[in-house]
Amino acid sequence: MNDIIIKNITRIVIPFAQVYGIFIILNGHISPGGGFAGGAIIGTSLILYTLVFGREKGEKKFSHKMSEIAESGGIMLFISIGILGMITGGYFLTNIEAGFPTGELGSLLSGGFIPLLMIGIGIKVASTMISLFNLLIDEEK
């Protein structure tokens, strides 16, 4: 789009939206939200960038290779945390008995592995949204 108002307002709004999305992901175990809602917010901000500035600039910021790494990396983080639980003598995906650090109830570093799982889910959902959008608006010349 060649409108100057939309370009300037998008440049101001996108960093705030991404910081808000990261805040919702990291506080998944204290307040309502979690991985899926935060990942949807970050994915929507990337879609907004591709819509306003065109396909080529969006391809430079978040290329096909980086979305491949993000898609696979989210599931690999999940599975490796589960196998870590199996190595220290429990079942798949144990939380406190496998040695993940617990804190006091209500602080940021509590809950065992729950913040790590939320980060993995958030990265995966954001990468899924931007990949699906890029696939749907691709045109054959």
Q: How many residues comprise the chain? A: 141
In terms of Cα–Cα distance, which of 37, 4, 7, 6 is closest to 20? 37
Give the x/- contact pattern for other proteins in 106-125, rule: CB under 8 A: x---xxxxx--xx-xx--xx
Contact positions with other proteins (CB under 8 A) in 36-65: 36
Backbone angles phi, psi at 65, to 5 degrees: -70, -35
Size of the site for other proteins (CB under 8 A): 39
Rounded Cα distance between 140 and 42, Å, is 28
At residue 138, what are phi and psi to the nearest 5 degrees? -75, 135
Closest approach, Cβ 10 to other proteins, in A, equals: 24
Q: Does 132 bind other proteins (CB under 8 A)?
A: yes
Tell me which of 17, 30, 51, 70 binds other proteins, using CB under 8 A. Answer: 30
Question: Is 78 an interacting residue with respect to other proteins (CB under 8 A)?
Answer: yes
- The answer to whether the beta carbons of residues 55 and 133 sit under 8 Å apart is no
**Closer CB to other proteins, residue 8 or residue 72?**
72
| DSSP-derived 3-state class of residue 94 | coil
d(CA 122, CA 26): 10
The site for other proteins (CB under 8 A) is made up of 28-32, 34, 36, 71, 74-75, 78-79, 82, 92-93, 95-96, 102-103, 105-106, 110-114, 117-118, 120-121, 124-125, 128, 131-132, 135-136, 138, 140
